[in-house]
């Protein structure tokens, strides 16, 4: 699950799809990755404390990858890339807490994310509004990952009034 989240997978079925990745199966030493119903059940059982613990594990995993991966796997033009993005997730139905009409007129949630290299290190889901509301908190929480390194920062947000 952590590997699937860190590499940007966003569907419950993405974990199950890892069963086709022989290297992932061997790397993690599992006989079979969870299917989407198992992942869904696990997600429904999470608490604020367990989500905080998962976020901590994600950051630790990214830190480990940065420390151990060959530089050419992480760097672009010799620099580590740090990327912030706000994605508007269109939702349908009545069961999406916090969803509201966004700047484009769609019922949506705002998913703000911070990537370091090719890995998702932090994210926040909220009602659409300020597309960069989590930019500074995410940079502050995670800047140790690029401190002392040459890095490029990219930001992709749409601001409309």
Q: What is the DSSP string of the chain?
A: -HHHHHTT--STHHHHHGGG-HHHHHHHT-S----HHHHHHHHHT--HHHHHHHHHHHHHHHHHHHHHS-HHHHEETTEEEEEEEEEEEE--SS--TT-EE-TTS-EEEEEEEEEETTEEEEEEEE-SS-TTTTHHHHHHHHGGGTTTS-EEEEEE-----
Structural domain contains residue 64 = no
Q: 61 lies in a domain?
A: no
Q: Tell me, yes or no, if the pTM score tops 0.75.
A: no
The pLDDT value given to residue 161: 47
pLDDT of residue 30: 87
Residue ranges making up the domain that contains 107? 74-161
| Predicted local confidence at residue 138, as pLDDT | 94
Q: Which residues of the chain fall below pLDDT 50? A: 161
pLDDT digit string, tens, across residues 114-133: 999 988 899 888 887 788 88
Domain count within the chain: 1
Residue 80 within any structural domain of the chain: yes
For residue 63, being part of any structural domain is answered with: no
Give the count of beta carbons closer than 10 Å to the beta carbon of residue 106: 15
Residue 116 burial (10 A CB sphere; 0-12, 13-18, 19+) = buried
33 — phi, psi (to 5°)? -80, 155
pLDDT at 10: 61
Count of CB atoms situated within 10 Å of the CB of 113: 20
Q: Is 17 among the domain residues?
A: no
**96 belongs to a structural domain:** yes
Domain presence at residue 6: no
């Amino acid at each position: 699950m952590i590997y699937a989240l860190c590499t940007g997978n966003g569907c419950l079925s993405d974990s199950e799809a890892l069963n086709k990745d022989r290297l992932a199966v061997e790397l993690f030493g599992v006989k079979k990755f969870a299917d989407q119903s198992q992942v869904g059940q696990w997600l429904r059982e999470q608490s604020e404390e367990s989500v905080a613990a998962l976020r901590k594990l994600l950051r630790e995993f990214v830190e480990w990858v940065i420390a151990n991966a060959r530089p050419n796997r992480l760097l672009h033009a010799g620099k580590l890339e740090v990327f912030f993005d706000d994605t508007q997730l269109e939702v349908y139905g009545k069961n999406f807490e916090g969803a509201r009409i966004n700047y484009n007129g769609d019922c949506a949630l705002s998913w703000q994310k911070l990537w370091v290299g090719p890995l998702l290190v932090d994210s926040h889901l909220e009602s659409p509004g300020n597309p960069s509301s989590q930019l500074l908190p995410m940079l502050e929480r995670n800047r140790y990952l690029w401190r002392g390194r040459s890095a490029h920062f990219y930001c992709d947000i749409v601001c409309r009034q």
